[in-house]
Amino acid sequence: MTDTRRLADIHLDPESLSAQSADAEHERRVAIFDLLEHNRFDVVDGPDGPYRLHLSVVDQKLVFHVKLLDGADVRMFVLSLSPFRRVVKDYFLICESYYDAIRTATPSQIEAIDMGRRGLHNEGSELLEQRLAGKVGLDFDTARRLFTLICALHVRT
């Protein structure tokens, strides 16, 4: 990871955040921490970073507003939420099952639910990579953590 091809700051629009359980809120905080610790994010044909990312939902669209650390605008990417709806809805459902299972289920039941949860998370991450192709270069771990943050936004249908 080079210092210029990375996110150094992330802001989630408070108006776009959905109400979340304590478990989901913890997952969001961990995703931000991990993302800032290690990521690859490079705006195609844009200036070198590091970058500041503001994520929001406006008119049912996902908005990636990328700036330099000094506040200079780099790019704004607007993605339709439609392709994400099914995977996010399924991800929320399986996460609820997972958090419930942690408290009451056997280890093998928890493992089975967690495998499904990770599979859906990977599916959402791959979709995000596809939707940002040609706009932003990022690695799979960065896409996974960004997908977690997208789930924190109002994307429930």
pLDDT at 156: 44
Residue 15 has pLDDT above 60, yes or no: yes
Residue 113: predicted pLDDT: 92
Query: Hey, what amino acid is at 78?
Result: V
Task: List pLDDT tens digits, range 120-146.
Answer: 999 999 999 999 999 999 999 999 999
N- to C-terminal Cα separation, the chain: 36
If one counts every other C-beta atom within 10 angstroms of the C-beta of residue 47, the result is 12
For residue 20, what pLDDT is reported?
65
Residue 23 has pLDDT above 70, yes or no: no
Q: Hey, where are the domains in the chain?
A: 7-152
157: pLDDT confidence band, cut at 50, 70 and 90? very low
CB atoms within 10 A of CB 70: 6
